[in-house]
Amino acid sequence: MGKFIKICLSGCLIFALCFVSVPAFGKGQVMTRVKVIHASTGQNYLDPGLRDIISELETVFKYTSYKLLKEKNLNQSFNRQSRVNLPGKRTLVIMPLDTNDNRIRYQINILKNKNSVFQTRILLRNNSSITIGGPKFNNGYLLFNIAGAVQ
């Protein structure tokens, strides 16, 4: 039975190692990915680049066409602003502030003609995303899918 106990202990060790190997939620860099989407009721089209979020958007919106206009990956430091140019003389200003309970605190501003038209502060779950939408563009609407992950 001594060997059996050893085996059980080995199992527990592997289990413990699994927990240890889970990366700590530290305060390094933040990888932010911004997807600019054009949603409309035009001809049916689902952009292959939006496969991961389309199913979620379709549960809320009744648009028939989702086109990925732009995708930008930002390797950000905390409290450092990044800007993404958006269609229609708009600019997205995004800044990770800190982390809290497996979430990243972001300050997000949308400017139009250099004037702030929308601003929000969110706690985004690590390795998750939020969609901000509303601005009209080309017989449809613009959606901004923002995903964040602590490096």
Partner 1 sequence: MKTKCSKYTSEEISRFVDNELFEDQYKTLAQHIEQCPHCSELSNQYKTLSTVFNNHVHEKENLKIDKALLEQKFDRVMQNHEKIPWGNIFGFSKKYILVKLTSIAMISLISLFILQKALFTPTGPSAIVKYVDTDYSSVMIIETQKEQHTIIWFNET
- The footprint of partner 1 (CB under 8 A) covers 3-4, 6-8, 11-12, 14-15, 18-19, 22, 53, 55-57, 59-60, 102-103, 105, 112, 117-125, 128-136
Residue 138 CB, nearest approach to partner 1 (Å): 14
- What are the structure tokens assigned to 98, written together? 């800190």
Place of tokens 């991961």: 52
The per-residue DSSP string of 39-96 comes to EESSS-EE-GGGHHHHHHHHTT---SEEEEEEEEEEEE-TT--EEEEETTTEEEEEEE
Residue 21 CB, nearest approach to partner 1 (Å): 10
Of 15 and 45, which has the nearer Cβ to partner 1?
A: 15
Residue 99 CB, nearest approach to partner 1 (Å): 13
Of 93 and 123, which has the nearer Cβ to partner 1?
A: 123
Of 70 and 103, which has the nearer Cβ to partner 1?
A: 103
- The Cα–Cα gap between 41 and 64 comes to 5
Give me the count of residues in the chain.
Answer: 151
